Chains A and B, each alone.
Chain A
Amino acid sequence: MATHTTHLTRKTKWLIYAGIGYLLVILLFRFLVADGWGKKKVHTVPVNFQSTVGEVTDGVPLCQEFIATMDKVDAVAIGAVLIEDERAGTLNVAFQKQEETLWSTDIEISSLTDWAMNTISVTPSIQLERGELYTLRLTVTGGRVTFTYGTTMSAGKYDVPVPLDGKLTLGDTEIPGVLITQLDGACVYQALKWYWPVTIGLGLIAAAIACYAVKRRNSGRLCRLNVLVDLVLRYRYMLKQLVIRDFVVKYKASFLGVLWSFLNPLFTMLVYLFVFSTLFQSSIAHFPVYLICGIVMFSHFSEATALGLNSIIANSTLITKIYIPKYIFPISKVLSATINLLISLIPLIGVSLINGVVLSKALLLFPYVLVCQIMLCTGVALMLATSMVFFRDTQFLWSVVITMLNFLTPVFYPADIIPTQFQTLYQLNPMYQLITFLRTIVLDGVAPEPRAFLFCLLGGLIPLILGFVLFRKYQDKFVLYL
């Protein structure tokens, strides 16, 4: 009876620790995402100059329709060209939604700078609704001035055509292009409003489940969760041993040993830097840091999945001799690759510091992206390992797919060189989401927008669930095919 009581208090103690841990995590998380999930300053990118719209006659409005990408506009910049140094007259700048004028102001043409972006602050700032169509209207009274437009945008070394979301019209004539303007403003997210209700709600649900499990345990009628906990407790030491084994054996015969774990990403970065610096560097700030973020994440994905793919086959002697939950093999391979990933954070931080990137508290969000990455790799490894047992071609097919993915993920090029119409498809790649997330916290030093968190989570969770379902369905047959 005495042992039973101590056991019970130990369990309760663990539950209390878990509860306190959860509270600390959600508090820290709230603090870290405050900037990214609240209001975020954004601006649109002006198109490249192609031509002027021609002289804007008195009283004929020049209208540019646009789809709002921000919630709030603080300033608008317009590329103006004066004609023959005439500086008389006024320019009226207005924002309209359909026929309703949201904001308008008159400025002296003499205050404009010729051949430059003229920033006009919008006070009080106007509220827009993202995704809705608005019109920027420019009307000249008693003066002569013209404006510039274009049809392309710089992306890397190339110019790509911009989508014509809204029409540009001068009076009744339509001009095939986009007015050169830049909007400065902010996006306001609602996610923070729901933060406490959701996190506390989830915590309470978890606590309820834990209490139920403890009750079932004490009554002796075990539920599924109890069995799962037992399994994890029973096999965690085996998992630990397998992970350590992989890691120790990997570098055992090499002279530099663990040093390779951070020399590898550095060398890859140097090669890419050498090859691509002239091609993309101009458009990407801190190109070496941009590169190493992509390389570290992608090589982890490729290493973890390649090891996971072989994990069942490689342990066939064990699987046919001893009963072991077979999940343990792909999982242990993913985890030992993850040790490598953690070590390669050292060169990542080193390169960032050398490049003058200011590391901020946002970097503490790394565990989030790491967990998503592990989920993704585990899911893919489970699927590949299953497939590999039945079709040995999987390994060759996967090496082709990995090469393809290396090009389909923005590891060494800027994501915006992909044409707009393919962007949605392109961004379905979970590695795109994870690498972009890492770059935001390292390079921009801010928390990504709420959407990015969701996409990373889904990018990890969906493959993980699919992987488990597939593996579970076929694992009893493995032993017959090994």
Chain B
Amino acid sequence: MNEIIRLEHVSMAFRMDLNRTTSLKEWMVTLLKGQHRHKDFFALNDVSFSVQRGDVVGLIGHNGSGKSTVLKIISGIYKPTQGKVTVDGHIAPMLELGSGFDYELSGDKNIFLNGAILGFNEKFLQEKHDEIVAFSELDDFINMPLKTYSSGMLMRLAFSIATIIEPEILIVDEILSVGDAHFQKKSRERMRQLMEGGTTVLFVSHDITEIRKMCSSVLWLDHGKIQMYGDAVAVCDAYQAAMI
């Protein structure tokens, strides 16, 4: 088996400034008064685990347990305060769909803009362009500026761009409910295809039945610490038992 993601003793501290200063004046004043105090809040505390290639890992835990922080650390958005992260493969971040959109431009131009931001190259996007448009079912709307789109249309376009490739690692933060019932079904199908295609998936959900259905293993986080990590069924059983 080969490891694709490895976290070793990772801690992530957020500084909670007791007097949060964003202006130079305030900063100088607090510095001079010697009140430059802050408290560290550990969103993750000494977390170590590894993911094998092809695993579908579900992340569970109550709000604020550090699930999103783990995903952001793996994506490289956060640099951990302590510890080491090793990722060996191309990551498709799906933390928030469509964050790179420009609402003045047409859907068509946004395919290239958003695609570029997600790290795809020009040739690839030109090849996949028709496929993206077809999957999003936007038809003629693709040439309209994004500001005229409904939120459902936006999400459909964003989902179509983000899932067009088969990335080595796919990171999903509760995005499965996209668009209407028809498109939701389609997007679920697409996700299942990706997972079966050998992509490593990290995936956050509060829906335990979905986790049981889709994941091979589950990571249960509690207050920034690993409560349990292992076989999906076992962890889900323990989690549900603890919840009652």
Do residues A323 and B113 form an inter-chain contact, with CB atoms below 8 A?
Answer: no
Determine the chain B residues whose CB is within 8 A of the CB of A479 once the complex forms. Answer: 77-78
Which residues of chain A from 247 to 306 have any CB-CB distance to chain B below 8 Å in the complex?
248-249, 252-253
Do residues A393 and B24 form an inter-chain contact, with CB atoms below 8 A?
Answer: yes
B81 to chain A, nearest CB (A): 10
B39 to chain A, nearest CB (A): 14
Do residues B119 and A391 form an inter-chain contact, with CB atoms below 8 A?
Answer: no
Do residues B22 and A322 form an inter-chain contact, with CB atoms below 8 A?
Answer: no
Q: B residues near A, CB below 8 A?
A: 14-15, 22-25, 27, 75-79, 91, 93, 95-96, 99-100, 102, 104-105, 109, 112-113, 116-122
Cross-interface CB contact of B104 among A235, A242, A252, A390, cutoff 8 Å: A252
A422 at the interface (CB under 8 A from B): no
Determine the chain A residues whose CB is within 8 A of the CB of B22 once the complex forms. Answer: 390-392, 481
Do residues A322 and B105 form an inter-chain contact, with CB atoms below 8 A?
Answer: no
Contact indicator per residue, chain A 424-437, by CB within 8 Å of chain B (1) or not (0): 00000000000000
Which residues of chain A from 407 to 439 have any CB-CB distance to chain B below 8 Å in the complex?
none
Do residues B122 and A237 form an inter-chain contact, with CB atoms below 8 A?
Answer: yes
Determine the chain B residues whose CB is within 8 A of the CB of A245 once the complex forms. Answer: 102, 105, 109, 113
Determine the chain B residues whose CB is within 8 A of the CB of A319 once the complex forms. Answer: 77
A476 at the interface (CB under 8 A from B): yes
| Distance, CA A200 to CA B144, complexed state (A) | 54
Report if A248-B105 is in contact (Cβ < 8 Å); known contacts: A322-B77, A393-B23. yes
Determine the chain B residues whose CB is within 8 A of the CB of A237 once the complex forms. Answer: 116, 120-122
A227 to chain B, nearest CB (A): 15
Do residues A323 and B77 form an inter-chain contact, with CB atoms below 8 A?
Answer: yes
- 18 extra interchain contacts, Cβ-Cβ under 8 A, other than A238-B116, A242-B116? A234-B121, A237-B116, A237-B122, A238-B119, A241-B112, A245-B113, A248-B105, A249-B102, A317-B99, A318-B117, A321-B99, A322-B75, A322-B77, A322-B93, A322-B118, A323-B76, A324-B117, A394-B24
26 pairs across A/B with beta carbons < 8 Å? A237-B121, A237-B122, A238-B117, A238-B119, A241-B116, A241-B117, A242-B116, A245-B102, A245-B105, A249-B105, A252-B104, A253-B104, A318-B100, A318-B117, A321-B77, A322-B75, A322-B95, A322-B100, A322-B117, A323-B91, A323-B93, A391-B24, A392-B22, A392-B23, A394-B24, A480-B14
Number of interface residues of A (CB under 8 A): 30
Determine the chain B residues whose CB is within 8 A of the CB of A322 once the complex forms. Answer: 75, 77, 93, 95, 99-100, 117-118
| Distance, CA A393 to CA B96, complexed state (A) | 30
Determine the chain A residues whose CB is within 8 A of the CB of B109 once the complex forms. Answer: 245, 248
Determine the chain A residues whose CB is within 8 A of the CB of B119 once the complex forms. Answer: 234-235, 238
| Distance, CA A318 to CA B96, complexed state (A) | 9
Contact indicator per residue, chain A 122-133, by CB within 8 Å of chain B (1) or not (0): 000000000000
Majority secondary structure, B binding face: loop
Nearest neighbor of A390 in chain B, beta-carbon distance: B22
Q: A residues near B, CB below 8 A?
A: 234-235, 237-238, 240-242, 245, 248-249, 252-253, 317-324, 390-394, 397, 476, 479-481
Cross-interface CB contact of A241 among B24, B95, B113, cutoff 8 Å: B113
B78 to chain A, nearest CB (A): 6
Would you list the 9 A-B pairs with minimal beta carbon distance, nearest first?
A323-B76, A241-B116, A238-B116, A476-B79, A321-B99, A391-B24, A393-B24, A321-B96, A249-B104
Do residues A480 and B93 form an inter-chain contact, with CB atoms below 8 A?
Answer: no
| Distance, CA A386 to CA B120, complexed state (A) | 27
Determine the chain B residues whose CB is within 8 A of the CB of A235 once the complex forms. Answer: 119
Cross-interface CB contact of A320 among B77, B112, B118, B120, cutoff 8 Å: B77
A136 to chain B, nearest CB (A): 56
Nearest neighbor of A235 in chain B, beta-carbon distance: B119
Determine the chain B residues whose CB is within 8 A of the CB of A480 once the complex forms. Answer: 14-15
B207 to chain A, nearest CB (A): 22
| Distance, CA A225 to CA B117, complexed state (A) | 23
Nearest neighbor of A324 in chain B, beta-carbon distance: B117
A12 to chain B, nearest CB (A): 22
A39 to chain B, nearest CB (A): 50
B234 to chain A, nearest CB (A): 32
A215 to chain B, nearest CB (A): 24
| Distance, CA A172 to CA B105, complexed state (A) | 82
Determine the chain B residues whose CB is within 8 A of the CB of A238 once the complex forms. Answer: 116-117, 119
Do residues B95 and A321 form an inter-chain contact, with CB atoms below 8 A?
Answer: yes
| Distance, CA A249 to CA B15, complexed state (A) | 37
| Distance, CA A2 to CA B241, complexed state (A) | 58
Nearest neighbor of A391 in chain B, beta-carbon distance: B24
Determine the chain A residues whose CB is within 8 A of the CB of B116 once the complex forms. Answer: 237-238, 240-242
Do residues B25 and A393 form an inter-chain contact, with CB atoms below 8 A?
Answer: yes
Nearest neighbor of A241 in chain B, beta-carbon distance: B116
B93 to chain A, nearest CB (A): 5
| Distance, CA A323 to CA B78, complexed state (A) | 9
Nearest neighbor of B22 in chain A, beta-carbon distance: A392
B76, B95, B100 interface centre (most CB from chain A within 10 Å): B100
Do residues B23 and A323 form an inter-chain contact, with CB atoms below 8 A?
Answer: no
| Distance, CA A211 to CA B174, complexed state (A) | 48
